[in-house]
Structure 1
């Protein structure tokens, strides 16, 4: 699609039904921008290059503006600047945007605007109704009652013609959901739940056929159709901002387009789609003579700059600053957002639903860990308490802890999906990194409120949290391998597996927060786990480990504390026979009885008993540091 749109909904565009809270606040009368520039360093010439140059404009309440231009002309960059989003990496921006002639603080600006991105960042395991419900829960303050929220959702479902799909899943790779056109309508509807004063849409009908395009834009005053808008739809625009190479070719009422381009020697032929014609004359990409095309575009840009409308535009914006900025500031009393506690609760609720419905992200992980437990239990099947089996016991402990941790790489795609949703919602000003990190951490712990206990408890417990995985894995592998057969030892083992998994997933959160790329994140997490295995104490005991690796990495290795905790759990209270000939591998006080006290094994590794609490505390500290650094990465990384 060759258009991006921006507009200011008026009361007539939003009002539906009797819900008075659903009317837009009349405090926003205008949205203006002046002298916008975006500059980057050219990779080849190393010189400054303008992506956007000296763009000004003005929109009144109720008007819709079509932002058009050939591919690569700077439409999305300009739209991001107008919406106060980072335009592109390493870019420098200048210029100002004004609401009612006033330079509004960004935190208030984000609350009065909504941005519908080109890609539909929807959660496939949610229903259409749930998608709108959580959009309301994350954006509307407590002053909006439950009845009003439900009324807003009903109005939007009916307005976009998706009321019959309210209980249908959006759709996942293995579960069919709604169509592409319906997904686009859900995306737009979810951004309108707050009744935004200013609405930005980046190619809202991209990839849709003409019928689906018309359905999507009908509620927002028929903005544009996929590819080039038809003549009829084009005439429905209030204003047109035509760009080429980052510069204005025209800005003004659509009704004046014919006259302006006729005056500068480019009259629009009759029986021709005006949008298609305009895009052709301001594009140089497909012209037979690129130099002639570039010359033509430059003349069109200069003609606009010298035109009466072009010369008056800057003055009109300046006059508005003096006229409106002095008499009316933007009301912010109705721009409140839910508190942190409500946002965290909503995020937790949404994650619970996602966890028991998303078979790919969660169910497969359960099967994977269960398969690992069966494999481990049958490989190390019924080990005996004799010295011939001491090393297999140690090997099983290492495998159980290290490989469980390593398999946490399967959490990477699930967190990447959550992070993408967070990035979209954070960009729209709904919440920051703190609620996201807290909710993400709590969802993996035994968090059950009254609602979850009384409704669908079995399905909701069937989440792939470390608690469930730890218990299921241990029930199979622990007893098959014949570790110390006491309840205390079993639950201590479960505790170490649980902490191991929490630490491993916390490492995934940290790495993926810094590098939100599947291949890079997967490689780095795998490398880190390989490093922890090497210095954890099994492959090389801490007593002889190279000082560099010991003091730089061993003491911050969460797998090291898990391994030694499991070793103490198994060997501190167990006695092993020396076998025939009483040639004991470990010399302990029971050698005369042809037996080995398990503490002798621990001494060979340099492990002492009675330090379980200390090791647990250190492990919890490592988990906290991983989560803290993950929060810092998300807080600092704005895209």
Structure 2
């Protein structure tokens, strides 16, 4: 699964071709919206509350449109409505959104658009080229040739000025990678690999300084002009130079439109309605101050000013011209909804995700490297604490303690997987929302990539602890010990994935997973014997506790075929567990199992193994179900 070679771009340069000339041009000429409104229920009064009201707009191929307004003005809501990302939006959505004059649907808009979120949800350990390439492999037809795909990848990297960073990783908490501006450019580039016609950007300059913001928007504008894309971006407070990069501006306040038209025309328009933008003033800052509603409570003059801006726009010639333009484009129907759909094979998508996960697993220390080091340290500690225990009855309890400690803490330390799976889930959510794949390929790839690593961890841990601790020294005993630890880790990782899928927040997921492992320790049958355990905890939790089956299986593995010496006294032998060997001063290991009420038949052990596989599969199916049911 090594990374694929790159394509030499020199031949194209020699031919005089521009980067991107081979990418298919857009078939979308006009994107428009009219009377867009969103009404929600006020939490206090329970009455309808409009958060967007009668918004209109139109954009043509090659246009870069800014949605601008103060915080809470509704620009992100409008962006989500235009992109048809309203599944989590609680409220009534009004209005019409048209592509080439035809009212569109969620399925149709996702065929021709992509959405770049404010947060850069990328795999930090992948390089720039790998990030774009995996996006291409997940979205482009599987029958596209490798050379053609890599050619498109390299064109995008060139178009966004990332040639020198092509082999630089995105960046992780442990390894420095791209700068903030480079990450933002890469985030956009990876979304453009399928040549979408419309690009929605949520705060593409958030967290960047003015220079980096200008750099990001400059590249986006150049690509939009070159490929005739329609770019619609929500933006908070651009600098003067960044503001000048936009072709069209939608200015919002309190969900209402204050202006829509050329960004270069704001000075003339606002001067006409009595709000002259002073010379040497950033137009964006002036407009945001003008329509900011957060600090006008009790100020009648300021409230009147904002109302005047709203009313002026509604009554303006520019507003009437905009509505006429939207109405006129209705007859320019070129059948956007009939655009071809790329059909993706779930098996192929699962393979691509598995390849990506595999690269991450061996490069990213957070994914498995840290866990290998943790388990190695735990193994050394356990092996030297329970060092070469004897087969005297005084060692029976230490052996039992060691079995519990090994199984329980192997499971508990799976919480180290939380940050890695949350990064994967963030990437999944972004890629799923853009229609690349669903929860099934993600679940399959995530489950498969961990198998060799978890087996290697179980084997490494067993090699150290089993022989240092002087457990039952047979090959069959050793491999059964490995099997139980392997099943333990598979179940623990499945639990981490399930909890993280429900609560994809690091602290919350970590806390709940740790709590669950503490619960399994309590009800497993070691700390509190099963015949003493409260019936509620016994029947509700014990029988679904995978740690309990691991403990039972490892107990049988250690005590089924071993013999233990009793203490010899002057009056005879004193044996802690009665057995048929008591007269000989020995304890048959099965007597220990009988004391715990554990069956030691091979059939019962096989049943426990079957239950473990059932729990492992159940965790994965539940994780899949959570992702399938979650709206996006």
Question: What TM-score does the superposition give when structure 2 sets the normalisation length?
Answer: 0.90
Mapping for residues 518-537 of structure 1, pairs under 5 Å: 518-537=506-525
In the alignment, the residues of structure 2 paired with residue 87 and residue 293 of structure 1 have an alpha-carbon distance, to the nearest angstrom, of 36
Which residue number in structure 2 is paired with residue 604 of structure 1?
595
1:277-319 Cα deviation digits (max 9, x unpaired): 2222212335697432222111111221122332454454345
Q: Does residue 429 of structure 1 match 2:417?
A: no
Which residue number in structure 1 is paired with residue 384 of structure 2?
378
User: How far off is 1:133 after superposition?
Assistant: 1.0
Q: Does residue 584 of structure 1 match 2:585?
A: no
1:106-125 Cα deviation digits (max 9, x unpaired): 23422321112222222221
Which of the numbers 441, 447, 463 marks the counterpart of 1:441? 447
Which residue number in structure 2 is paired with residue 93 of structure 1?
93
Which residue number in structure 2 is paired with residue 624 of structure 1?
617
In the alignment, the residues of structure 1 paired with residue 237 and residue 523 of structure 2 have an alpha-carbon distance, to the nearest angstrom, of 61
Which residue number in structure 2 is paired with residue 330 of structure 1?
337
In the alignment, the residues of structure 2 paired with residue 507 and residue 16 of structure 1 have an alpha-carbon distance, to the nearest angstrom, of 52
Q: Do the aligned residues in 2 keep the contact of 1:225 with 1:233 (CA within 8 Å)?
A: no
Which residue number in structure 2 is paired with residue 7 of structure 1?
none
Which of the numbers 404, 407, 417 marks the counterpart of 2:423? 417
Which of the numbers 396, 404, 411 marks the counterpart of 1:405? 411
Which residue number in structure 2 is paired with residue 12 of structure 1?
none
Mapping for residues 47-196 of structure 1, pairs under 5 Å: 47-86=47-86, 90-196=90-196
Q: Do the aligned residues in 1 keep the contact of 2:35 with 2:53 (CA within 8 Å)?
A: yes
In the alignment, the residues of structure 2 paired with residue 130 and residue 171 of structure 1 have an alpha-carbon distance, to the nearest angstrom, of 13
Residues 330 and 111 of structure 1, relative CA distance in 2, 3 Å threshold: closer
Residues 303 and 227 of structure 1, relative CA distance in 2, 3 Å threshold: closer
Q: Does residue 473 of structure 1 match 2:461?
A: yes
Q: Does residue 593 of structure 1 match 2:584?
A: yes
Cα-Cα RMSD: 2.4
Larger mean CA deviation between 99-108 and 223-232 belongs to 223-232
SS at match of 2:103: coil
User: How far off is 1:143 after superposition?
Assistant: 3.7
In the alignment, the residues of structure 2 paired with residue 519 and residue 565 of structure 1 have an alpha-carbon distance, to the nearest angstrom, of 33
Q: Does residue 546 of structure 1 match 2:505?
A: no
User: How far off is 1:431 after superposition?
Assistant: 1.2
In the alignment, the residues of structure 1 paired with residue 628 and residue 533 of structure 2 have an alpha-carbon distance, to the nearest angstrom, of 37
Q: Does residue 563 of structure 1 match 2:564?
A: no
User: How far off is 1:249 after superposition?
Assistant: 0.7
User: How far off is 1:270 after superposition?
Assistant: 4.1
Q: Does residue 634 of structure 1 match 2:618?
A: no
Which residue number in structure 1 is paired with residue 25 of structure 2?
24
Which residue number in structure 1 is paired with residue 226 of structure 2?
none
SS at match of 2:421: helix
SS at match of 2:35: strand
User: How far off is 1:336 after superposition?
Assistant: 0.4
Structure 2 stretches of 5 or more lacking a match? 1-15, 223-230
In the alignment, the residues of structure 1 paired with residue 19 and residue 270 of structure 2 have an alpha-carbon distance, to the nearest angstrom, of 45
Which residue number in structure 1 is paired with residue 4 of structure 2?
none
Which residue number in structure 2 is paired with residue 297 of structure 1?
306
Q: Do the aligned residues in 1 keep the contact of 2:383 with 2:469 (CA within 8 Å)?
A: yes
Residues 633 and 201 of structure 1, relative CA distance in 2, 3 Å threshold: same
SS at match of 1:482: coil
Larger mean CA deviation between 474-483 and 284-293 belongs to 284-293
Q: Does residue 244 of structure 1 match 2:235?
A: no
1:42-96 Cα deviation digits (max 9, x unpaired): 3444433222222222222222211111222111121111111138664443333
Residues 367 and 152 of structure 1, relative CA distance in 2, 3 Å threshold: same
Aligned length: 603
Which residue number in structure 2 is paired with residue 356 of structure 1?
362
User: How far off is 1:193 after superposition?
Assistant: 0.9
Which residue number in structure 2 is paired with residue 33 of structure 1?
33
Residues 533 and 293 of structure 1, relative CA distance in 2, 3 Å threshold: same
Larger mean CA deviation between 305-314 and 219-228 belongs to 219-228
Q: Do the aligned residues in 2 keep the contact of 1:214 with 1:225 (CA within 8 Å)?
A: no
SS at match of 2:484: helix
In the alignment, the residues of structure 1 paired with residue 22 and residue 442 of structure 2 have an alpha-carbon distance, to the nearest angstrom, of 28
Which residue number in structure 2 is paired with residue 261 of structure 1?
270
SS at match of 1:527: helix
Residues 287 and 427 of structure 1, relative CA distance in 2, 3 Å threshold: same
In the alignment, the residues of structure 2 paired with residue 485 and residue 228 of structure 1 have an alpha-carbon distance, to the nearest angstrom, of 70
In the alignment, the residues of structure 2 paired with residue 236 and residue 563 of structure 1 have an alpha-carbon distance, to the nearest angstrom, of 65
In the alignment, the residues of structure 2 paired with residue 117 and residue 495 of structure 1 have an alpha-carbon distance, to the nearest angstrom, of 43
In the alignment, the residues of structure 2 paired with residue 231 and residue 517 of structure 1 have an alpha-carbon distance, to the nearest angstrom, of 37
In the alignment, the residues of structure 2 paired with residue 392 and residue 484 of structure 1 have an alpha-carbon distance, to the nearest angstrom, of 14
Q: Do the aligned residues in 2 keep the contact of 1:29 with 1:61 (CA within 8 Å)?
A: yes
User: How far off is 1:17 after superposition?
Assistant: 3.9
Structure 1 stretches of 5 or more lacking a match? 1-14, 447-464
In the alignment, the residues of structure 2 paired with residue 400 and residue 311 of structure 1 have an alpha-carbon distance, to the nearest angstrom, of 74
User: How far off is 1:231 after superposition?
Assistant: 5.1
In the alignment, the residues of structure 2 paired with residue 145 and residue 215 of structure 1 have an alpha-carbon distance, to the nearest angstrom, of 33
User: How far off is 1:199 after superposition?
Assistant: 0.5
User: How far off is 1:194 after superposition?
Assistant: 1.0
Residues 61 and 482 of structure 1, relative CA distance in 2, 3 Å threshold: same
SS at match of 2:102: coil
In the alignment, the residues of structure 2 paired with residue 504 and residue 254 of structure 1 have an alpha-carbon distance, to the nearest angstrom, of 55
In the alignment, the residues of structure 2 paired with residue 209 and residue 551 of structure 1 have an alpha-carbon distance, to the nearest angstrom, of 58
In the alignment, the residues of structure 1 paired with residue 159 and residue 84 of structure 2 have an alpha-carbon distance, to the nearest angstrom, of 29
Residues 337 and 108 of structure 1, relative CA distance in 2, 3 Å threshold: farther
Which residue number in structure 2 is paired with residue 197 of structure 1?
197
User: How far off is 1:131 after superposition?
Assistant: 0.9
Q: Do the aligned residues in 2 keep the contact of 1:33 with 1:97 (CA within 8 Å)?
A: yes
SS at match of 1:330: helix
User: How far off is 1:488 after superposition?
Assistant: 0.6
Residues 18 and 540 of structure 1, relative CA distance in 2, 3 Å threshold: closer
SS at match of 1:638: coil
In the alignment, the residues of structure 2 paired with residue 482 and residue 20 of structure 1 have an alpha-carbon distance, to the nearest angstrom, of 69
1:397-441 Cα deviation digits (max 9, x unpaired): 111111111111111111111111111111211111111111111
User: How far off is 1:569 after superposition?
Assistant: 0.8
User: How far off is 1:271 after superposition?
Assistant: 4.2
Question: What TM-score does the superposition give when structure 1 sets the normalisation length?
Answer: 0.89
Residues 39 and 168 of structure 1, relative CA distance in 2, 3 Å threshold: same
Which residue number in structure 1 is paired with residue 563 of structure 2?
575
In the alignment, the residues of structure 1 paired with residue 587 and residue 81 of structure 2 have an alpha-carbon distance, to the nearest angstrom, of 73
Residues 248 and 226 of structure 1, relative CA distance in 2, 3 Å threshold: closer
